[in-house]
Structure 1
Amino acid sequence: MTKRKCDQIIDYFNDQLSNEEAKTFEEHVQSCESCQEELDELRELTDDLPFISEPVEPPNGMKERVLSNVFADEKENETLETIRMTPSNKKDDEIVVNRRKGISPFVSGSIAAALLLSLIGNGYLWNEQQNLSQNKQELMMERDMIESDYFALLEEAEEESGGVSDVLLTSNLSATEDEGAQGEGVATIIAENGNVDLVIQVEDMPGVTGTEVFQAWIIEGETPHPAGNFNIDENGNGAVTFRISDMEDFQIDQIAITLEPQPANEQPEGQVVLASQ
């Protein structure tokens, strides 16, 4: 488990871990000296990365001095390795190797290479995300164009149809058995220009007084939905139109007309005078 956590040091340093993984790794670092040292080395290596500063021509002889220092360090590491044979009671001779503390140039180079590869990978992923974002925008624009063309064709078809209406349903409205109920009417559902309307025509209706009005209702099961108010002329004739396509999905079980004490009621309060079968 510890080795697996140590392997996450590069991803942690580049913020590639999830919040939960990063929190778990930070708890691991508190008790792992090796990871602490490597993190310190990574921070030192990335403090002054070459690509964040302006290029400067190195002084004469700098290359020779750097290489000579590297070879001197390697030679010093070799001389510091001592093999001591310990005459003890153990069956096998113990070989003790003393090394200078710190990370060798080879290990530092490996870490730097891993860090460079990680940065290259991050750049690749960023480019891929940009490409995906651009493709998404192009698809959305294409979708909008298709929708625009569709509605344009639909509008053109409606204009070519000359506004012809289709009668979907016709139902007679008869006077109820309640006292004072009279008159008759017809309820028609019409489809025209992409809309569906309910048209109600009545005749021989009783007179109204004060603020009374007639109100149409669409009955779904036992639930009434208001479908418009209307008045009548001196002969008891009247009409009202209601756009059904503006309503949410519902089922028409019955159509009724009530005489309401005031207009725009959400629930019927007056007497039912006409109703469909």
Structure 2
Amino acid sequence: MTQQCDRVLDYYNGHLNEIEKAAFEKHLSECDDCQEILADLHSLEDTLPYAAEPVEPPEGLEDRVFARIEAEDHPHSAKAAPLRPAKKKRQWMMPSVAALLAVSLFGNAYLFTQLSDDADIVEQATIDQVLQYAELAPSAGDASGTASIIEQGSEKRLVVQASNLTALSQEEVYQVWLLQDGQPERAGTFVIDNEGRGSVIFTLNEEYAERDWDTVAVSLEPDANSETPQGEIVLASEI
């Protein structure tokens, strides 16, 4: 058996990515052993009690299952009672396939439970409410962006995303400002990637959250120390 043969159970369970799946299916078309194992796995599906309530397996079951597999693979190293597979051909293969399928189903049931629990946690953790949203307009050039104030549980956050921004030089940065009646307050600093994209997630503390901001702006600053806008405003919008 080849290294691809080791992937038969992952293929059966749908755990291979597209590239691995394509490689295994090419191997499968030429490998009688893998074809027979898959055929046996599918034939055994109908005989397993899927509708049964989950129960704790008896103590030592796993050890006995794998001992049986070892005994079948090495018949002279241990004595074991003969099994009676449904099919007479491939008798050496059927106990191993049955054990593999049992282990697979236990593993998939556990994985499904864990993923379901994780999905519930993620769903609860990501229920956010957008309180305000604006598309940022450029003062010149092709820059673009969006600004949102999002409520996450008891916290509020300003999320600014921008693209097509001019490349920075030396200590230059982009600074986000929130304005109320023309008075700016710092709300995050960012630099951009090679494609001119950058973003900020700024948590609004209690003082910030209670204020009635009317404008959000992004300026190009000579450094990260500006307490008021010193450079050119490149993006802005009412919010």
Q: Normalization by structure 2: what TM-score? A: 0.46
The normalised TM-score by structure 1 is 0.40
* More helix by percentage: 1
